Amino acid sequence: MKKILALLLLAALCAGTAWYALPLWPATIPAGGLNLSVRQGSSLARLANDLQRQEVAPAFVVQAVARIRGSARKLRAGEYLFESPQTVADILSAIEAGNAKQLAVTVVEGSRLSDVYALLAGAPAQPGVATFAAGTLPARSALREALASDAISAGASATAPFDSLLEGYFFPDTYFVAPGSSATALLRLMHKRMREELARAWEQRSPDTPLKTPYEALILASIIEKETGREADRPLVGSVFVNRLRIGMRLQTDPTVIYGLGDKFDGNLRKVDLQTDTPYNTYTRNGLPPTPISLPGRASLRAAVAPPASEFLYFVARGDGSSEFSRNLAEHNRAVAKYQLSR
């Protein structure tokens, strides 16, 4: 009995020592300082692994200290610079407080430009997200003029709604910006990134693509982005739309109809909406809509310009995030009955 009590006492003593000692674990900071990037939504495990990979501190120590401090869910995105000496607790404290030299702005793939504006306009109220200098978020008309030299709307239809001429031309990613910086400067950077990504994708296009210009590729990529959130399905979704374009079949894609409805869309797409003609209704009009409908990522750009060869002309959501692909209408109707009507 005495031995058991002694062991329990020793275990309690060790736990108490660890409780106080682990946060004081010295971090190994390189001679030139430690640059650490914490992305939006980054997990404690990822941070711990990053610090271990850079030989700053063992991952188990970082995770233990974070749990002792209760900071596992308080990590703020940003670009951090640390100079020696630092403890593991010091590093976690700085990340909790958001004491970064640069803060993160994350634009999600499939966002619209209006979503980006809402994000940047609300940034000062969001912990760990960049605060922009007052008056630096331009009106869309002013932004279009500012980027005119980049031929931002080259290839856009003359009938495209003015507000949509900027759509799609900004690359979704996590960007690090200094507090108090210009929102216009960030938008310029996003635009530059998209032009580079689009040019790179266009260079890798299939020789037999029906797409005539990079702008058409951007439009199709924006549709693919909205049709599936599953990266593995994007190439085949791209092949369906490319196959339809080749044979002159209408794209018949709901996301374009929703985009055309604008503020009228209440979250419920009705049969009458599919039958009401707009420039974006791909059930009533042939070919591509006049502009992109979202900000596509790299995978969707690739799926638009170089999808795999297939005979698929249809696809339907299975309900688990994936899609069922079909070669003809009979197969498609069976898939719809199985995955949609049986719910």
Grouped pLDDT means (10 residues each) for the chain, 343 residues: 42 45 75 77 83 86 78 72 81 79 82 85 50 61 62 50 73 82 81 92 95 94 91 92 95 93 85 90 94 94 95 87 88 86 62
State residue 120's pLDDT score: 79
Peptide bond into 289 cis (omega under 30): no
Query: In sequence order, what are the residues at sequence separation of 6 or more whose Cβ sits closer than 8 angstroms to the Cβ of residue 64?
Result: 18, 22
C-alpha span between 186 and 126 (Å, rounded): 17
State residue 297's pLDDT score: 94
The domains of the chain are located at 20-100, 104-200, 206-341
CATH for the stretch 20-100: 3.30.1490
C-alpha span between 287 and 250 (Å, rounded): 6
Amino acid identity, position 148: A
State residue 189's pLDDT score: 87
- Quote the distance between the C-alpha of residue 275 and its chain's center: 32
Is there a contact between 211 and 220 (Cβ–Cβ < 8 Å)? yes
> 102-106 and 174-177 as β-strands: parallel, antiparallel, unpaired?
antiparallel
